[in-house]
Amino acid sequence: MSKQVFRYGEDFLKVSVAMAIVSGAIKGILSEAGRERIRKSAAIVERVVTSGEVVYGINTGFGPLCTTPVNEEDTRQLQENILKSHAAGVGQPIDQRLSKLMLVLKVHSLAKGFSGICEATIDRIIWHIEQEVIPVVPEQGSVGASGDLAPLSHLFLPLIGLGKVFYKDAVKPAAEVLRELGMAPLQLEAKEGLALINGTQFIAAHAVTGIVGFHKVLTQADLNAVLMLEGLSASIKPFYPELHALRPFKGNQFVASTIYNLLKDSAIVHAHANCSRVQDPYSLRCVPQVHGASRNAWLHLKELVETEINSVTDNPLLINERLTISGGNFHGQPLAMALDYACLAAAEIGNIADRRVYLSLEGDTPGVPRLLLPSTGLNSGFMILQYTTAALASENKTLCFPSSADSIPTSLGQEDHVSMGSISGRKLLQVLGNVEKIQAIELICAAQALDFHAPLKPTPIVEAVHQAIRNQVPHIETDTVMTTHLEAAMELVGSGALIHTAKKTAEETGLSYMTELQELFDRY
């Protein structure tokens, strides 16, 4: 079976498609129509150089040197120099999947034909993607305008035989790998260096990765909440559709519908339908409002990111032979603010999960013992698990300060307002990692609480999820070292295994699961 093809610069790039190109499931190509656009754009640059017309970045210096002319003989050296001088990032290398995603996003933007890049240069970038020769990019150094200059410079140093690359599970000098594979370094033409390093692909790659990770966290959050609602004998009424029709936020309605579908035929729910409890604490009762608000933030980010990764974000842009514009499409503010919003929304998923963990230890649910062990005193039970969720939730709060609220002028004042969106993107991934750890602890506690309701059973989907947990994490009777169990639970969350179990069981049983607004919130 032939591999699905994506045409750079032509097809609409969705988040899922970008990730599929990175994984190798989809092949990205340049069509002949795309190549023609690229050639026309490169020809405009060549005309500017030979005519002597002054255009920023083609025959002038960069940033505060924009009024300094560069003669025709030096325009090539100018492009190589900008990659060298701007590769000033520091810190640990970003994950090579992020670097590869940056390459994919950059090719798609350049292939639209407004950047003056040469066809051979784009072909070489695609070669790097397909041969898994992935540049090493430091995590720190971008202020998010004029684009992600430092990380993009590191990303494209290998084109001219400099920098380092990930290749065959090792980090090697780019020059060494190019020699090994029989590839000569490129000679960049006028405008190419600037086109390569101007843009938002570092921010956008983190945002694309964040959308995927955040979606998994949100879906897991609803499953965890159902397990905890069952384990703590919570009421189903706060999830009735009649309630959420009166405040119809899409995220709220989706979460309420999902949880209602997973609870409505539960033997445990029916067993306490006439109990004396009037209402549940907020972390149980307000799951649709809290999880739903975070889903709305995810949807907002997804919509903005899909616009961004299908845009042209370098500078200057060659609109046609008569019009070249030096503007600000490289400014990261549109994503920076949305990433800060998403960071807060993700942290809130961890905050409310920590509160549910705390509730599970209180011993206020009939049949569910304090600290989740029948005999405490000699045993401390699950007490310290909540210490860990508290520590992680607190750490996330410190990461929620909006990076986009800050701006430090750069480039001798020429670039006097910057987005700091690269920091926003990095923080989102940190917060999501912490939330996954909180969720792992929550599912351990929720599964333990649910055990005490036997022989009553939840709905088949929830029972399948509970059993999948029990296949990896046993019911605990006395104090034990939790490390192995935490690692197993984190693997269940990180791999998305429980989400897969829930969806597979729904398909096998024909039961409703995530039906309301599913197309909106379960696709990217």
- What is the structure's pLDDT at 194? 92
Cis geometry, peptide bond prior to residue 455 (ω within 30 degrees of 0): yes
What DSSP string describes 374-427? SS-SS--TTHHHHHHHHHHHHHHHHTTS-GGG----BGGGTB-----HHHHHHH
How does residue 514 score in pLDDT terms, banded at 50, 70 and 90? confident
Which of helix, strand or coil describes residue 370? helix
- What is the structure's pLDDT at 64? 64
Lowest-confidence pick of 84-88, 199-203, 210-214, 275-279: 275-279
The residue range of the domain holding 357 is 207-521
Any alpha helices (H) in 24-161, and if so which ranges?
A: 32-51, 75-86, 96-110, 119-131, 149-156
Do 65 and 102 belong together in one domain? yes
Do 135 and 108 belong together in one domain? yes
Which of helix, strand or coil describes residue 268? helix
Domain boundary residue, one of 199, 225, 247: 199
Do 54 and 77 belong together in one domain? yes
47-56 residue pLDDT tens: 888 887 777 7
CATH of the domain at 316: 1.20.200.10
- What is the structure's pLDDT at 1? 59
- What is the structure's pLDDT at 209? 98
Q: Is the pTM of this model over 0.85?
A: yes
CATH of the domain at 131: 1.10.275.10
Do 94 and 171 belong together in one domain? yes
Lowest-confidence pick of 77-81, 120-124, 487-491: 77-81
- How many helices and strands (H and E) does the chain possess? 21, 9
Catalytic residue among 56, 341, 513, 524: 56
Q: What percent of the chain clears pLDDT 70, i.e. is strictly above it?
A: 98
DSSP type of residue 168: T
Contact 71, 62 (CB under 8 A): no
Do 193 and 221 belong together in one domain? no
Do 216 and 184 belong together in one domain? no
- Report the sign of the C-alpha dihedral through residues 505, 506, 507, 508, in that order: positive
User: What is the enclosing helix (H) or strand (E) of 173?
Assistant: strand 170-173
Domain count, the chain: 2
Do 375 and 505 belong together in one domain? yes
279-312 residue pLDDT tens: 999 999 999 999 999 999 999 999 999 999 999 9
CA 360 – CA 225 distance, rounded (Å): 12
Catalytic site includes residue 524: no
Do 248 and 371 belong together in one domain? yes
238: tokens are 């706060």
391-450 residue pLDDT tens: 999 999 999 999 999 999 998 888 889 999 999 999 999 999 999 999 999 999 999 999
- What is the structure's pLDDT at 29? 97
CA 262 – CA 270 distance, rounded (Å): 13
Query: What mean pLDDT do residues 184-200 have?
Result: 95
Domain boundary residue, one of 144, 164, 199: 199
244-255 residue pLDDT tens: 999 999 999 999
Do 427 and 343 belong together in one domain? yes
Do 129 and 271 belong together in one domain? no
37-89 residue pLDDT tens: 999 999 999 888 888 777 776 777 666 666 677 777 777 888 999 999 999 99
Query: What mean pLDDT do residues 196-222 have?
Result: 98
Nearest CA among 79, 217, 98 for reference residue 157: 79
CA 212 – CA 352 distance, rounded (Å): 21
Do 215 and 107 belong together in one domain? no
Domain boundary residue, one of 176, 199, 222: 199
- What is the structure's pLDDT at 2? 72
Residue type, 129: I
Cα–Cα distances in Å, from 321 out to 44, 70, 163, 217, 485?
6, 21, 35, 48, 64
How does residue 276 score in pLDDT terms, banded at 50, 70 and 90? low
Do 295 and 175 belong together in one domain? no
